[in-house]
Structure 1
């Protein structure tokens, strides 16, 4: 009986690349130099593995005169590129240190090898990752590389901590209001003015979303900067998160933060500490209570502006309601709430009573010549300040447009149509042009926007009729606009109201429009 014998299987072809390196150029001009010797040893080893299907590739990967302390070597880069394209199955070196003298770099190279299933052989050290022993040695080396990476991370963190404690800028994303020059923060005057306005805007509007909306209308964006490679970063529209990050940055008061530590910084401050503290207190208050709308769900008209004159403290809104009965609202002295009612001569007052009294006083504004005179004087001062602010912003916007157009020309010369950088540059120019138009219109309006005494008196004469048509939240806004504070002295039975002349003028303008 005849039996057929299967021929032996032909081994799979293993394409081998020999890598050689010499740190100096000395002797490379000789007929047979160190690189030749390394390659000859590699070729001999590959020939000994011919039965395993090993084949030496004709391409030479020789780095003469390059250190092994880094990966900036042309032949090594070419070898890694050929590995990624599938041209190489095995890399052969004379010694491990020919490939790299850095364990960290060696681990990175091994990651590329492992990703593309490329084995690694050291001729003189019996090192071959195709065998289990070779992989064991590799894992030991990678463990040392991991240890080196962790040590580098620890040293970097320690260096950053020491720099922050000395008040130095230790890198990261640049912040609006500053430029980075020689690793130091230097104030950018145009951006600094915007930062100051943003802080003032939040104190006035008391809402992140409202401020973010206003910044969107103005076309103001986050810090636009370039990386060392020339890539643009930032320049995005403000949202609630990025606005909160700006308002809570201690850099603006000349400080630096490291974890929970605050240290004096080398940079000059943009915001005065008092304003910064007010903003932080308001942010914390809004964050704890969910915002003004949540806090004032019973539409307390005088919340936040009514104070107890006897105890020199605020009066908070409170209410009581039995099941099935009507709601009774009060303003209560905070000292009486905390220490007991006996500590205040008049610990509470019915909310409806004091609110009606204040509304009646507001209606009488138009009949008081002294209030009208003070209003117009304050209005003129504010209009002049506003015109100066708008003029500065107009000049800044013109400068920004010049820079944006120059940047657009540079980008257009280096990239093709459809590139994202071109679209970003066009967006910046469009936003700046729209805002510039708005600013110029506002300046033109300011030139003829001052109202006289007769207009104020006429507008406020209609306040009673308009007040009845307002929604509760609009009435609250009007009161906050008009009144800075109310002192209630329950013992003497006196009420003192401090009006905002600027608010009276704004109200008169709104009523005239209505």
Structure 2
């Protein structure tokens, strides 16, 4: 049971006139006496209640004035580009109330902007970053929403934002204005248009590597029927001399690419290839043992589906020297030195080191 509520001043209980009025009603309903040590008045008389309301009005006025001064000071500091607290942006650290670049995180931020510019998909990019073992400040994985928020944060071009208005910041930018503008132009596109653009920009996985039985190269081509895109690899002699010039005229791109990837995976896991790759790495001075080579190749096999198309194409170009196609099947010649290079990349990833 509470009989008396004692405060030093009435504004120590509340500086809101409305809130205090409700509290007094609760006190009255429960026969609780309210006492202010430094202010003598009685709430049982009309004059006492008037005094109380006047004091509370001044207390509320004082609170609002203080709030306005704080907001004005905050806005003025932001206009000067000063850091005023809050969640520290990924890529920075705070020291003496200033934003300073955190090198390791800054490298990830730059990579995110550059990779998004290349592939135009936050979903694929988030999946790739997580597969590489990269994490946020709090240790959680990246997701599409977080990446869009990061790609929209003007702090990375050296600006301080207050209520939608940007000002030059005191901190150093992480990326250039040109890179920012290019990324923003992609984000400004409608999602469907951007998805179509990503598909059109998807590199041909086997460009420059695949050859027909005649020895002629096979080049990427495509047709569109009823709004659907169909990709092929066509023998160059067929394009110039007609379909009779080659027994293999054209191949569906998706099928031949999948077949090549499956064979590459099998070849990479073979004991012979593991030993050759280890020997090549040792010749190049890399301190890596046979077990580490095997583990890295297994990791590559698991990681492949998480890579975005441009990175898949780059790795295939490193791994494969030549692909010969015949009516009876395909023959793949791998680059041992290319495999060693890919192993070195995989070994440097955070989830392998």
Normalising by the smaller structure, the TM-score range is: 0.5 to 0.7
Report what 2:137 is aligned to.
223
Report what 2:262 is aligned to.
none
CA distance in 1, matches of 2:15, 2:140: 35
Q: Aligned to 2:55, which of 125, 133, 141? A: 141
What is the Cα deviation at residue 239 of structure 1? 2.8
Matching of residue 247 in structure 1 with residue 151 in structure 2: yes
CA distance in 2, matches of 1:260, 1:109: 30
Report what 1:372 is aligned to.
none
Report what 1:107 is aligned to.
14
What is the Cα deviation at residue 183 of structure 1? 0.6
Alignment of 1:278-293 (within 5 A): 278-285=182-189, 288-290=190-192, 292-293=194-195
Does the 8 A contact of 1:221 with 1:236 survive in 2? yes
Label 1:124 to 1:201 Cα distance change in 2 as closer, same or farther (>3 A): closer
- Cα offsets for 1:14-45 (capped at 9, x unmatched): xxxxxxxxxxxxxxxxxxxxxxxxxxxxxxxx
- Total equivalences in the alignment: 237
Query: Using CA pairs below 8 Å that are at least 6 residues apart, which structure has the higher relative contact order?
Result: 2
What is the Cα deviation at residue 284 of structure 1? 1.1
Matching of residue 269 in structure 1 with residue 135 in structure 2: no
Label 1:289 to 1:147 Cα distance change in 2 as closer, same or farther (>3 A): same
Does the 8 A contact of 1:254 with 1:266 survive in 2? yes
Label 1:133 to 1:223 Cα distance change in 2 as closer, same or farther (>3 A): farther
What is the Cα deviation at residue 182 of structure 1? 0.8
Alignment of 1:284-363 (within 5 A): 284-285=188-189, 288-290=190-192, 292-293=194-195, 295=196, 302=200
CA distance in 2, matches of 1:205, 1:238: 17
Secondary structure, in 3 states, of the residue corresponding to 1:180? strand
Q: Aligned to 1:258, which of 162, 173, 180? A: 162
Does the 8 A contact of 1:256 with 1:262 survive in 2? yes
Label 1:457 to 1:141 Cα distance change in 2 as closer, same or farther (>3 A): same
CA distance in 2, matches of 1:239, 1:191: 16
Secondary structure, in 3 states, of the residue corresponding to 1:268? coil
Does the 8 A contact of 2:15 with 2:63 survive in 1? no
CA distance in 1, matches of 2:58, 2:130: 52
RMSD, aligned CA: 4.8
What is the Cα deviation at residue 130 of structure 1? 5.1
Report what 2:350 is aligned to.
none
Does the 8 A contact of 1:207 with 1:291 survive in 2? no
Report what 1:169 is aligned to.
83
Secondary structure, in 3 states, of the residue corresponding to 1:128? coil
Report what 2:273 is aligned to.
none
Alignment of 1:77-92 (within 5 A): 86=1, 88-91=2-5
What is the Cα deviation at residue 194 of structure 1? 1.4
What is the Cα deviation at residue 159 of structure 1? 1.3
What is the Cα deviation at residue 162 of structure 1? 1.3
Does the 8 A contact of 2:78 with 2:160 survive in 1? yes
Report what 2:322 is aligned to.
457
Alignment of 1:22-171 (within 5 A): 86=1, 88-91=2-5, 99-100=8-9, 105-107=12-14, 114=23, 117=27, 118-122=32-36, 127-129=41-43, 133-171=47-85
Secondary structure, in 3 states, of the residue corresponding to 2:100? strand
Label 1:207 to 1:132 Cα distance change in 2 as closer, same or farther (>3 A): farther
- Cα offsets for 1:23-77 (capped at 9, x unmatched): xxxxxxxxxxxxxxxxxxxxxxxxxxxxxxxxxxxxxxxxxxxxxxxxxxxxxxx
- Cα offsets for 1:445-466 (capped at 9, x unmatched): 9xxx9889994322x647xx99
CA distance in 2, matches of 1:183, 1:158: 19
What is the Cα deviation at residue 327 of structure 1? 5.5
Q: TM-score normalised to the size of structure 1? A: 0.37
Report what 1:190 is aligned to.
104
Q: Which is higher, the Rg of structure 1 or of structure 2?
A: 1
What is the Cα deviation at residue 106 of structure 1? 4.8
What is the Cα deviation at residue 206 of structure 1? 1.4
What is the Cα deviation at residue 180 of structure 1? 0.6
What is the Cα deviation at residue 242 of structure 1? 2.1
Q: TM-score normalised to the size of structure 2? A: 0.52
What is the Cα deviation at residue 213 of structure 1? 2.4
Does the 8 A contact of 1:121 with 1:129 survive in 2? no
Secondary structure, in 3 states, of the residue corresponding to 1:271? coil
CA distance in 1, matches of 2:199, 2:5: 80
What is the Cα deviation at residue 89 of structure 1? 2.0
